[in-house]
Chain A
Amino acid sequence: MNTRGLRSQLKDSVPVTGMGQQVGAYGVQDTLRSGFSSVKNELLPSHALELSEKNFQLNQDKMNFSNLRNIQGLHAPRKLQMEYRAARQIQRLPFLQSSHLALDTLKGNDESISFEDILNDPSQSEMVGEPHIMMEYKLGLM
């Protein structure tokens, strides 16, 4: 079986860049929004699982698409990704809660329950994004 495709996909699936770096204009550290930075905070994850959890869904998707490509050919993952891209665009404005119903149905998240549904529910979070700034960021004006 041709596994070359799989290996090239997984090679850079866990990027070891800084954790939570807020990049502003010109690709420089955004001190206004995220405060002063320290190298230790940025480089090392605070928990062994932090990196792997951040990339878990991405890695799963890459692996599944690679398998699908090897089994059924290039058209299968391409069609699925096209549908995902379309469903991802059905959203409210960034600071409001969107249900992601179409995206969840496509991904199969409507038929399973995991820690993402129980812990840290985004609709119950104590921090609210600033609407104007989030819209400007989304439209690329700032």
Chain B
Amino acid sequence: RKMATLSVCQPQLGGFSFENCKRNAVLEAEVTKLGCNIPSARKTGTTICGVVFKDGIVLGADTRATEGMIVADKNCSKIHYISPNIYCCGAGTAADTEMTTQIISSNLELHSLSTSRLPRVATANRMLKQMLFRYQGHIGAALVLGGVDCNGPHLYSIYPHGSTDKLPYVTMGSGSLAAMAVFEDRYKQDMEEEDAKRLVRDAIAAGIFNDLGSGSNIDLCVITKGRVDYLRPHDMANKKGVRTGNYKYKQGTTGVLTKSVIKLDLEVVEETVQTMDTS
């Protein structure tokens, strides 16, 4: 219905285009009448959490991505890179968390190039909350942001509508209640690194075993001043089982009636060696 001369009056702008919203609303009404569903977005149905310990931050996440009632990805990576000293776990719509963290990571890199300093966690937090508030929660990204900068370790939780909390331990996602129960029981201030890793591993495991939307493996990310350990996978909580029976037939099960051998005479015409670049 739109003619080619639409762009006469307004200049073409980038960003979100709301052209198809009315059409989608009409289609949704039609499809509901017929009894089917429109395709839904892939969510991460997640357990993510973070904890502040003596020297830094431990972030943890499960690795299951769901599409309605089906597991879409058995081993997806939910701990995203923001900057060398800042990492972010994402729950909610998978595409939204992925794109949001990538955009903020790029912006932080440009910002740190122009200030020539290591970026601060508070900067990443403010950029994220301003973007999420601008889109009023339509970008479904619930994030756990953690990192170590010049002022020490910091941990933030960021909700899809743009509110943030700065706390010593946070959990997000559908398995957040199970993980928070573990934290509330065993969190202590100024833990050692091994204790903090064990605590986060147990919290994610609680989410994996008690929430349908979380599952598969446990990923950990330990951030301290000058060092980042990205442990993927840290723990394979749900290993696929090994088959106990062998379904192959023994040699000689099928009786052999006749056997004839035909020799093929092949002569080597040309021999070339191609080196493969495996760098």
Interface residues, chain A, with chain B CB atoms under 8 Å away: 22, 33-35, 41, 45-50, 52-53, 56, 94-95, 111-122, 125, 127-130, 133-134, 137
Closest to B104 in A: A113
Contact check, A113 vs B8: say whether CB atoms are below 8 A apart.
Answer: no
Q: 10 closest pairs, A vs B, by CB?
A: A122-B12, A46-B21, A116-B14, A129-B7, A116-B15, A46-B22, A47-B21, A50-B18, A47-B18, A113-B106
Contact check, B16 vs A49: say whether CB atoms are below 8 A apart.
Answer: yes
On chain A, the residues within 8 Å of B7 by CB distance are: 95, 127-129, 134
Contact check, A34 vs B134: say whether CB atoms are below 8 A apart.
Answer: no
Contact check, B14 vs A35: say whether CB atoms are below 8 A apart.
Answer: no
Contact check, B3 vs A115: say whether CB atoms are below 8 A apart.
Answer: no
Q: What separation, in Å, do the CA atoms of A46 and B20 have in the docked complex?
A: 9
Contact check, B4 vs A117: say whether CB atoms are below 8 A apart.
Answer: no
Nearest Cβ in chain B — how far from A20, in angstroms?
8
Question: Out of A41, A56, A116, which one reaches B22, CB within 8 Å?
Answer: A41
Interface residues, chain B, with chain A CB atoms under 8 Å away: 1-9, 11-18, 21-22, 25, 99, 103, 106-107, 110-111, 114, 131, 134-136, 138
Contact check, A120 vs B9: say whether CB atoms are below 8 A apart.
Answer: no
Closest to B22 in A: A46
Q: What separation, in Å, do the CA atoms of A48 and B22 have in the docked complex?
A: 12
Contact check, B16 vs A34: say whether CB atoms are below 8 A apart.
Answer: no
Q: What separation, in Å, do the CA atoms of A129 and B4 have in the docked complex?
A: 6
Contact check, A127 vs B4: say whether CB atoms are below 8 A apart.
Answer: yes
Contact check, B136 vs A114: say whether CB atoms are below 8 A apart.
Answer: no
Question: Out of A35, A45, A116, A127, which one reaches B1, CB within 8 Å?
Answer: A35
Q: Known contacts A127-B4, A133-B5, A134-B8; is A46 also within 8 Å of B13 by CB?
A: no
On chain A, the residues within 8 Å of B111 by CB distance are: 111
A-B contact pairs, 10 of them (CB 8 A): A22-B9, A33-B6, A46-B25, A53-B18, A111-B114, A115-B16, A116-B14, A122-B11, A129-B5, A130-B8
Contact check, B103 vs A114: say whether CB atoms are below 8 A apart.
Answer: yes
